[in-house]
């Protein structure tokens, strides 16, 4: 049983469709938490954005005269991601800010307990589910006024301070200007994207490229600019023309919408695939793609870059991931040892 074993020793394969894994025509990758460890980049951007926004509105409005700093933990971020509705980290920043502004706490412990409760009452609808829950706790007028104040999901530079601050922190001044074509307003320091750590090795990509005839592509919530920056050492091993960067697409196409998978597979002309991702949202996206089309896709859950690896592994097992591994670099070896649980 999982409870008696270290996650490093737990058998990575629990149940899956053997023939699909053996005969898939391509591999699709999520970037964050799969190819790249983002705990010191995207997670840090969420934490710093929340601190900035809460203090920004505390000093520019009459909402409050005191806000906590260092409020957000990796565990809180994970709880939101596990709902299946928070693949977008700016959405997560917004949800946390809205919750804290609606129910302010002077004590960090109480504030974190409240945010965990908000996450527990959220679902695949993401920020809509958070807004609905908060309206059940306080006046709908208060929530509507706070939503107007935060003005999200307006894009960076278009009224939304949250989106602007987040992108300035993550991209830094140079990349921010390149992405948005205007100068930053709030942050001019070192970009947090520099803290990304590439996990997948060149050897792994080369092995997979040979096995799948070069049919490797990315389906990520990132922008193309961010993906190219952090994947530069292995970028030539993926089909960039078939890759999908959802931050650059219309908002309604964000995960868990199956649009990205469908677009990538159509571009490559494939009907079967393995998708490697680190979140429940990725698994939902895969299953929806199968339901909506005649595509067949095996989901490979990656848990090693999670802030709570054992918990993430357990969730993948509970939700029926086809393969569960700690590190994406284990995938070539796992594919050579495929077996079916009778």
In three-state form (DSSP H/G/I as H, E/B as E, the rest C), the secondary structure along the chain is CHHHCCCCCCCCCCCCCHHHHHHCCEEEECCECCCEECCCCHHHHHHHHHHHHHHHHHHHCCCCCCCCCCCCCHHHHHHHHCCCCCCCHHHHHHHHHHHHHHCCCCCHHHHHHHHHHHHHCCCCCCHHHHHHHHHHHCCHHHHHHHHHHHCCCCCECCCEHHHHHHHHHHHHHHHHHHHHCCCCCCCCCCCHHHHCEECCCHHHHHHHHHHCCCCEEEEECCCHHHHHHHCHHHHHHCCHHHCEEHHHCCHHHCCCCCHHHHHHHHHHCCCEEEEEECCHHHHHHHHHHHHHCCCEEEEEEECCCCCCHHHHHHHHHHHCCCEEECCHHHHHHHHCCCCCCC
Q: What is the pLDDT of residue 66?
A: 54
pLDDT of residue 285: 97
For 270-294, what is the mean pLDDT?
Answer: 96
pLDDT at residue 339, rounded to an integer: 42
What domains lie within the chain, and their CATH numbers?
A: 2-37+197-335 (3.40.50.1000), 42-193 (no CATH)
Look at 54-58, 71-75, 177-181, 216-220 and tell me which has the smallest mean pLDDT.
Answer: 54-58
Dist. CA 19–CA 220, nearest whole Å: 26
Helices 89-102 and 161-180: angle between axes, nearest 10 degrees: 160
pLDDT at 65 over 50: no
How far apart (Å, rounded) are the C-alpha atoms in residues 75 and 68? 17
If one compares 60 and 12, the residue with the highest pLDDT of the two is: 60
CA distance 244 to 150: 29
Looking at residues 150-177, what average pLDDT do you find?
A: 93
Which pLDDT band, with edges at 50, 70 and 90, does 15 fall under?
very low
Mean pLDDT of the chain: 90
Contact 264, 217 (CB under 8 A): yes
Reported pTM: 0.89
% of the chain surpassing 70 pLDDT: 90
| Structure tokens given for 236 | 């030539």
pLDDT value at 63 more than 90: no
């Amino acid at each position: 049983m999982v409870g008696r074993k270290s996650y490093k020793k737990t058998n990575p394969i629990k149940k899956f469709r053997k023939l699909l894994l053996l005969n898939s025509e391509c591999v699709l990758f999520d970037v964050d938490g799969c190819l790249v460890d983002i705990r010191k980049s995207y997670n840090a951007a969420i934490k710093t954005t929340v601190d900035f926004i809460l203090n920004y509105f505390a000093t520019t409005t009459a909402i409050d005269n005191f806000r906590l700093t260092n409020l957000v933990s990796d565990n809180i971020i994970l709880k939101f991601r596990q709902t299946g509705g928070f693949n977008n980290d700016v959405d997560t920043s917004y949800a946390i800010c809205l919750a804290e502004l609606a129910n302010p706490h002077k004590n960090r412990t109480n504030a974190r307990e409240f945010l965990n409760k908000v996450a527990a009452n959220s679902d695949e609808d993401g920020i809509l589910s958070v807004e609905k829950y908060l309206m059940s706790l306080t006046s709908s007028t208060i929530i509507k006024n706070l939503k107007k104040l935060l003005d999200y999901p307006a894009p960076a530079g278009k009224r939304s301070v949250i989106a602007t601050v987040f992108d300035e922190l993550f991209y830094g001044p140079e990349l921010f200007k390149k992405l948005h074509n205007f100068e930053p307003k709030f942050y001019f320091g070192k970009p947090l994207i520099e803290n990304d750590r590439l996990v997948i090795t060149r050897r792994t990509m080369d092995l997979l490229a040979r096995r799948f005839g070069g049919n490797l592509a990315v389906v990520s919530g990132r922008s193309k600019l961010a993906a190219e920056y952090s994947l530069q050492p292995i970028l030539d091993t993926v089909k960039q023309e078939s890759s999908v960067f959802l931050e650059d697409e219309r908002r309604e196409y964000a995960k868990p919408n199956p649009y990205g998978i469908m677009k990538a597979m159509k571009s490559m002309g494939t009907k079967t695939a393995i998708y490697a991702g680190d979140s429940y949202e990725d698994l939902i996206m895969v299953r929806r793609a199968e339901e909506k089309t005649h595509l067949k896709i095996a989901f490979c859950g990656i848990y090693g870059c999670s802030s709570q690896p054992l918990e993430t592994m357990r969730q993948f097992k509970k939700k029926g991931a086809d393969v569960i591994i700690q590190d994406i670099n284990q995938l070539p070896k796992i594919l050579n040892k495929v077996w079916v649980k009778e």
